Structure 1
Amino acid sequence: MTPSLTLTLGRRPDGRPLLAVAGEIDQGNAGSLAEALDRTSGPVVVDLTAVEYLDSAGLSVLFTHSDRLELIATPLLAPVLTISGLADIAPVHGLDA
């Protein structure tokens, strides 16, 4: 059974695209995240604050788009974002909260 994943595309008050992600991102549904990011052009803010689990498949999608991502996350995701190196190449906000 594929874990629940909700993707909501909108805009921030400054007009930048915002992709709000909720649930678990794994091999079974990382393709949906990739498709949502592929539908956006230019820089995009990805809100991961409602993500409870992120595996290597999800990380791979984020790395693929890292040159245009700004991430918002919680301390729960800090270890995976930091150890993977993603936090070194894409701005990540909220890890120290």
Structure 2
Amino acid sequence: MSTSMRLKRFGSKKRPDYRIVVMDSRSATNSRTIEEVGQYHPIAEKDKQVVLNVEKIKDWLAKGAQPSDTVKHLLNSNGVTITRTVQE
């Protein structure tokens, strides 16, 4: 199963709240998630916008989960390095 890390929108109209989730890459955006690994609150103060569970994120990246472009930017800006391992 190929997995991806992406944002799932919650919250009300004009008050977005996102969760960073691990999902099957072939599933729809609003379908069931495998695990929640963080949150992103774009309206909150700068130091409280992103909440990450770094251990779970690194575990999923090691298993081969591919982050979306937005999630990759959030991880890099918060000090989580994404290293790729070449599998032969």
After TM superposition, is the score higher than 0.5?
no
Taking structure 1 as the reference length, what is the TM-score of the superposition? 0.33
Give me the TM-score of the superposition, normalised by structure 2. 0.35
Larger RCO (alpha carbons 8 Å, 6+ apart): 2
**Counting helix residues as a fraction of each chain, which structure ranks higher?**
1
